Amino acid sequence: MLRSNGRINRGRRGRLIAGLVGLLLSLGYGQQAWTTLPMGKIREPGAAVFPLIVAAFMAVSSLMILFEEMRSLDSEEGPLGLPSGADLHRLLGIVASLVGYGVMAYLVGHLIASVLLSLALVHLINPGSWVRTVVIGLAISLSTYGMFVSMLGVPLPRGVLW
């Protein structure tokens, strides 16, 4: 992590900054949810429950990044770079899928857009048979839709065309 001149290399510094920024954002997000949204009850969770869960996962992830970087202070790892070849194509596909989800959610609503996003992500992250991809993609989409609509009572966007 430290160069011979005593400075932290750029890759490590970037990960430390990302961990700190993520931790601060998660704390702010959680604080906003805690103070401005209703918690509800066990049988009827309020609007604050999901943001608090997201904030907790984000804080844990950020802390893991920070601890990993602090644990490996003596590592001689070089600077980070963008992936190349198939990994770059996978990364660009994931980014394009997320942008496509935003457009599709507006046009056709959350359910159809999330099915398409889940199919794309499952195929990009772990390519396999299309039957497996469709089963996993549908399971992800329908379970999240059911959780929000049925369990939390949160209406999801329908889209302008649907």
- Answer yes or no: are the C-beta atoms of 122 and 69 closer than 8 Å: no
Residue 91 to residue 81: CA distance in whole angstroms? 13
Residue 55: pLDDT band (50, 70, 90) is very high
Residue 33 to residue 161: CA distance in whole angstroms? 32
- Check pLDDT > 50 for residue 2: no
- Check pLDDT > 50 for residue 1: no
- Check pLDDT > 70 for residue 31: yes
Residue 119 to residue 100: CA distance in whole angstroms? 12
pLDDT: which is higher, 137 or 76: 137
Residue 61: pLDDT band (50, 70, 90) is very high
pLDDT: which is higher, 92 or 9: 92
- Answer yes or no: are the C-beta atoms of 8 and 79 closer than 8 Å: no
- Answer yes or no: are the C-beta atoms of 132 and 78 closer than 8 Å: no
Could you tell me the pTM of the whole model?
0.59
